[in-house]
A and B are shown apart, each in its own frame.
Chain A
Amino acid sequence: MISKEAHSLFLNGDEAVAHGVRLCRPHVISAYPITPQTITVERLADFVADGDLDTEYLYVESEHSAMAAALGAAYTGARPFTATSSQGLLYMCEMLHYVSGARLPIVMMNACRSTAAPWNIFGDQRDSLSQRDSGWIQIYCENGQEALDTIIQAYRLAEHPEVYTPVMVCIDGFVNTHTYELVEIPAQEQVDAFLPPLDSRHKVDFANPHGFSVSVNPNYHTEFRIQQQQAILKAAELAAPIDAAYKEKVGRSWGGMVEEYRMDDAESCIVAMGSAVGTIRETVDELRAAGRKVGLVKVRYFRPFPKDYFAALSGKVKAIGVLNKEISFGYEGSLTTEVKAALCGRGPVAVCGYHAGLGGRDISRDTIRAVYASLDRLLAGEDVNDPNYIDARW
């Protein structure tokens, strides 16, 4: 049996997610394995088999069914969990839109991985970013500890009466999912104090029958979409307070929608999300020690997007490099587009999009040093390619 007290374990990111889910006491887990998500659903199955988790564990036949089962469970008022990656996320795409439009507070982990073709099982972020408009809140994590804590925060956010919007907790394939670190497991009592049992606004009541996911024609469709938009924007207001409440009950904080690192007098900064943030942090320390005024902005929430934060960034730094682990073909990196849009008309600041880590290519300190060096050239008024394939072979 797993201790109910706070303790530390040497875990990979997938296992950290599984512990986070266990502590949230989900009623239903619909599981279908896919690399690099598989360890999460395997550990959850272990917890059920060992009596550490009382849940309805469903072996579904596909990712589409995994999300459909989670949808059905949420409609009955239950707290569901599922997890996927890459091709699996694409396969459940139809149900992602159903769940968000139906306003069901489902939490899912996505192990970010490239999409075929070319076939590739390794980490980048083109799977989750391709689902930008699916209506889900998307949170990106830096490491296993943040993944565990974010899963717990995600339920609190999704189930907020004014949100009722599903949350996708994104962790990078392999760099997060399969990398071991010492992870602090909160006490069940601490998590229970932070996350109350779900008293869902959705219930199946045979005495008061309802139609679920009914068709809505042009006469009211706009209003339902505005309702969705208002709900997900409410999540933007709640991100920081929920993180603060988590700190109060559990003792750890990850910031709200963004986290700044050594930004106080920074002239140039990198904007990034996911596992690369850890490497950037280390490189910033190294460059700061050499007297360079560099900083880092870690994006936790991609949807809702921290628009106001970036709009205010133009007065603070002179050059921004946005690091993308995908390409939105025909334009640029998805994160680049969002940062540029938020800064549009906000004054002079140079922004350049960089692409690295596609299909699992390692993002090293050398990669990050090259981005900061490129930003130096941008500050010096030199021409820099945008988008910039910083770690390409040629």
Chain B
Amino acid sequence: MDKPKVDKTFRFPTCMEEMPLGPTVKAGILTETNAGWRVKRPVIDRDKCIHCLICWTLCPDGVLSKELEIDMDFCKGCGLCAHECPKGAITMVSEVDGQ
């Protein structure tokens, strides 16, 4: 699936002349990251992982790719993937001290 990506070239308007005509804007892009409230991040142990894709299916934010790369710009750290992993292959690690 083509997941939307943050468009690094996007610039918000800086004057009235740069405003769009009403709230009609380019689609299929993300303008800002959204992961600021994450306190723990998921870390996958590739040796334990059996690639069942339960985490990929259940992630409420769709931040996992099928190759199980995690888009940390949008992962909120909810821990659902770690809770549901049948092999205990995902650990939630503190963003503060790495524990």
Interface residues of A (CB under 8 A from B): 101-104, 164, 201-202, 208-216, 220, 223-224, 226-227, 230
A161 — nearest CB in chain B belongs to which residue? Answer: B21
Contact residues in A for B27 (Cβ distance below 8 Å): 209-211
Interface 9-residue window, one of B12-20, B38-46, B72-80, B86-94: B12-20
Q: Are B19 and A213 in contact (CB under 8 A)?
A: no
Contact residues in A for B24 (Cβ distance below 8 Å): 102-103, 202, 210-214
Q: Are A201 and B16 in contact (CB under 8 A)?
A: no
Q: Which residue in B16, B23, B28 is a CB contact (below 8 Å) of A226?
A: B16
Contact residues in A for B16 (Cβ distance below 8 Å): 223, 226-227, 230
Which of A202, A216, A227 has the most chain B CB atoms closer than 10 A to its own CB? A227
Contact residues in A for B25 (Cβ distance below 8 Å): 210-211, 214
How far, in angstroms, from A214 to B21 measured CA to CA in the complex?
12
Q: Given A220-B13, A223-B16, A230-B16, are A101 and B28 also a contact pair (CB < 8 Å)?
A: no
Q: Are B26 and A224 in contact (CB under 8 A)?
A: no
Does chain A have a CB within 8 A of B98?
A: no
CB distance from B4 to the nearest CB of A (A): 11
Q: Which residue in A209, A224, A226 is a CB contact (below 8 Å) of B22?
A: A224
Contact residues in B for A230 (Cβ distance below 8 Å): 16
Q: Which residue in B13, B21, B26 is a CB contact (below 8 Å) of A201?
A: B21
How far, in angstroms, from A230 to B23 measured CA to CA in the complex?
15
Interface size class of B (residues with CB under 8 A): 10 to 19
How far, in angstroms, from A104 to B22 measured CA to CA in the complex?
9
Contact residues in B for A164 (Cβ distance below 8 Å): 21-22
Contact residues in A for B19 (Cβ distance below 8 Å): 223-224, 227
Task: Return 7 A-B CB contacts under 8 Å, by A number.
Answer: A103-B21, A202-B21, A210-B25, A213-B22, A215-B23, A224-B22, A227-B16
Q: Are B22 and A220 in contact (CB under 8 A)?
A: no
Q: Given A220-B12, A223-B16, A227-B16, are A210 and B23 also a contact pair (CB < 8 Å)?
A: no
CB distance from B30 to the nearest CB of A (A): 12
CB distance from A210 to the nearest CB of B (A): 5
Q: A101-B22, A209-B26, A210-B27 are in contact. List 20 more A-B contacts (CB 8 A).
A: A101-B23, A103-B24, A104-B22, A201-B21, A202-B21, A209-B28, A211-B24, A211-B26, A213-B22, A213-B23, A214-B24, A215-B23, A216-B23, A220-B12, A224-B22, A224-B23, A227-B16, A227-B19, A227-B22, A230-B16
CB distance from A230 to the nearest CB of B (A): 7
Q: Are A102 and B22 in contact (CB under 8 A)?
A: yes
Contact residues in B for A202 (Cβ distance below 8 Å): 21, 24
Contact residues in B for A102 (Cβ distance below 8 Å): 22-24
How far, in angstroms, from A224 to B23 measured CA to CA in the complex?
8
How far, in angstroms, from A210 to B27 measured CA to CA in the complex?
4
Contact residues in B for A211 (Cβ distance below 8 Å): 24-27
B15 — nearest CB in chain A belongs to which residue? Answer: A223
Contact residues in B for A209 (Cβ distance below 8 Å): 26-28
The 5 closest A-B pairs by CB, nearest first: A103-B22, A209-B27, A211-B27, A102-B22, A214-B23
Query: Quick one: which of B22-74 are within 8 Å of A by CB?
Result: 22-28
Q: Are B26 and A210 in contact (CB under 8 A)?
A: yes
Contact residues in A for B12 (Cβ distance below 8 Å): 220
Contact residues in A for B26 (Cβ distance below 8 Å): 208-211
How far, in angstroms, from A164 to B23 measured CA to CA in the complex?
13
A203 — nearest CB in chain B belongs to which residue? Answer: B24
Contact residues in B for A210 (Cβ distance below 8 Å): 24-27
